[in-house]
Amino acid sequence: MKTVKWYNYQKGVGSDKKMLWGWGEETNKDLGPIFQHECDYCGSTGTWNLYIKRRWISIYFIPVIPYKKIYCAICPNCNSYIKFSKQEFKQMKLDIKSRV
């Protein structure tokens, strides 16, 4: 899934230098395979992995402050995802660890 980045330019206080900051930078942490599922979006069947998606505020293109966290399983074909609550996510994470 392609991330759209939004950037704003502001003058630094007391100087002529500009500070570049933005939001929308996204990182994905793959925790491993969780289940076989048919995607409702693309129709393919495959092994979906459990992920934590984080969105960040960035300064000079460096992610600094996380402002959103999504717990989900991602389709291996089209990258669409199914969201989970934090409690459901914790249980799935334990299931992955118990298989290893």
Distance CA 85, CA 55 (A): 17
E strand or H helix that includes residue 93: helix 86-99
Tens-digit pLDDT profile for residues 16-28? 445 577 777 888 9
Other CB atoms within 10 Å distance of the CB of residue 33: 15
CA dihedral 48, 52, 57, 59 (to 10 degrees): -80
pLDDT attached to residue 18 = 52
pLDDT attached to residue 26 = 84
Tens-digit pLDDT profile for residues 2-56? 443 334 444 434 444 455 777 778 889 999 999 999 998 899 999 999 999 999 8
Distance CA 47, CA 38 (A): 9
Give the angle subtended at the CA of 91 by the CAs of 80 and 37, to the nearest 5°.
35
pLDDT attached to residue 7 = 40
